[in-house]
Amino acid sequence: MPALRISMRIIKDVLRLKFDAKLSHEQIAAALRISKGVVAKYVSLATAAGLDWTTVRSLDEAALEQRLLSKPAKRSAYAMPDYGRIHHELRRKGMTLMLLWEEYQAEYADRQTYRYTQFCEHYHAFAKRLKRSMRQIHPAGEKLFIDFAGQTVPLTDGGRAHIFVAAMGASGYSFACATARETMRDWIASTVRALHFFQGAPALIVPDNPKAMINDADRYEPRANDTVFDFARHYSTSVLPARARRPQDKAKVEFAVQLVERWVLARLRHQRFASVEEVDRAITPLMQRLNQKPFQKMPGNRATAFATLDAPALLPLPMQRYEMARFKTVKVNIDYHVEIEAHRYSVPHALVGQELDARITGHAVELLHRGQRVACHARSERRGAFTTVPEHMPAAHRAHLEWTPQRLIDWGESIGMATGAIVTRLLSANKHPEHGYRACLGLLSLAKRYGKPRLEAACTVALSIGACRYRNVRDILANKRDQVAPGATGDWVSPDHAHVRGAGYYQ
């Protein structure tokens, strides 16, 4: 078989039989049906390249061909830049190829150097040979990239304003605003402002991996916190954090941040601001100019590209803006209430002992069981108080709730004036009338056993001697003292309560 037609598979077999099996050139030639000269040629090339069988086995055919058959590069008359160092230097903030080219020329002033165009072409060719990243294509309306700029704006009181930036994936149309900090509340509030600026929501929102928003900043499966998920559900979108330390995942916003730093923050560097709000107002017109700045290599600008690409593809916004919420796990107490910030809110009594998720906003407390809302209350600042919905109570408790002091008094007066007076005294004897409900119900229930006339008579006796408790009336009925002539009441003493005095004692 001619040497020119030898495949890399056969060459790899030659090297395997020579370096691993230790066969002679003649044995290899006979086994593979090639000449001994071909065997000698490729064994010699492998030896010159410093290859052994362990290395050859790990190479694919293309890599093996490159190692064996590539021609040595011709020595250039030009001074060769260190493109590895240049690639590293370009990661520095504000570094450009123009500056690195000028340093390259100064370093090799006594030798022939590349012109700037050639320098850039060679660098880009070098960069393409580095580890290849996935090429990103952003469909219209699909992604909104968000981040905070590295630069901040100083305030006269010593504080600093942080700059939030959002950029649409397809058009690059950008939004920026100033915040006091970079907390989760700042991230979400700024993103809400951005969505209403764009007048629509994308399918995906791509932040960095900020600790304020992401519970688990895993490279492959970052997990947002509950408030972020709640925000995303409100706008029917999803939050997909970029991989940690992978700026190529959000190159669009990285470029937008760079533009904001150059075209907005740089123009504000000589101004003095007293508050974050002043910075925010100063940013707005500059961002409008930036979005209307013409593209260099394409017709139109970011604003026109947004109007034709992203805007028609965005999801409609809900009627109300998102209200910041926080979540807390609570357990339902035996009284079918949960405690949040020292106030107690009711839930359906069947959930006693269950753990619920409380969604707490500035105005409401929403209670969720396995993702389903089971109760919603207006938020209360009254510590130690209760907010109770009657439908959450057991039937027996609801019946008790329907009783009012006036209803009990009216019931007592329907039996007689003395009974009504005893009920009134029982209610007024307690700081809270509800504490006397049980005694009143016990008193009125005596009418079922002894009849209304006897109960009214017993209450008359109780009033005359000043013994106006439930058990006093009960004992009067049990001892039939209500049936004794009125004149004899002064000497009566309850057999169970020898300490009870006659009527004269209470006058």
HEC string of 95-161?
Answer: CCHHHHHHHHHHHCCCCCCCCHHHHHHHHHHHHHCCCCCCCCCCCCCCEEEEEEEEEEEEECCCCEE
What the block records as the tokens of 95 is: 């570094």
Tell me the average pLDDT of the chain: 80
pLDDT at 157 over 60: yes
Confidence of residue 399 (pLDDT cuts 50, 70, 90): low
User: In Å, what is the CA distance from 408 to each residue of 37, 323, 422, 427, 433?
Assistant: 119, 45, 11, 9, 11
Confidence of residue 495 (pLDDT cuts 50, 70, 90): very low
pLDDT at 214 over 70: no
Average of per-residue pLDDT across 368-382:
87
How high is the pLDDT of residue 201? 93
pLDDT at 146 over 50: yes
User: CB under 8 Å to 361, separation ≥6 — which residues?
Assistant: 323, 324, 325, 379
Q: Averaging pLDDT over each range in 406-410, 426-430, 432-436, which range is the top one?
A: 406-410
The residues with which 340 forms a beta bridge, in sequence order, are 343
Q: Between these two residues, 242 and 372, which has the higher pLDDT value? A: 372
Q: Is 387 exposed, middle or buried (0-12, 13-18, 19+ CB in 10 A)?
A: middle
CB count in 10 Å sphere of residue 11: 25
Pick from 38-52, 208-222, 416-430, 468-482: least confident: 208-222
Q: pLDDT digit string (tens) for 462-492?
A: 998 888 888 899 999 998 888 876 654 444 4
Confidence of residue 493 (pLDDT cuts 50, 70, 90): very low
How high is the pLDDT of residue 46? 85
DSSP conformational letter for 296: S
Q: Of 168, 145, 152, which Cα lies nearest the Cα of 246?
A: 145
How high is the pLDDT of residue 382? 85
How high is the pLDDT of residue 155? 93
Pair 250, 242: CB distance under 8 Å: yes
As a whole number of angstroms, the distance between CA 441 and CA 448 comes to 12
In the block, residue with structure tokens 């730093």: 261
Q: pLDDT digit string (tens) for 267-314?
A: 888 899 999 999 999 999 999 999 998 876 556 788 988 888 889 889
CB count in 10 Å sphere of residue 366: 19
How high is the pLDDT of residue 377? 92
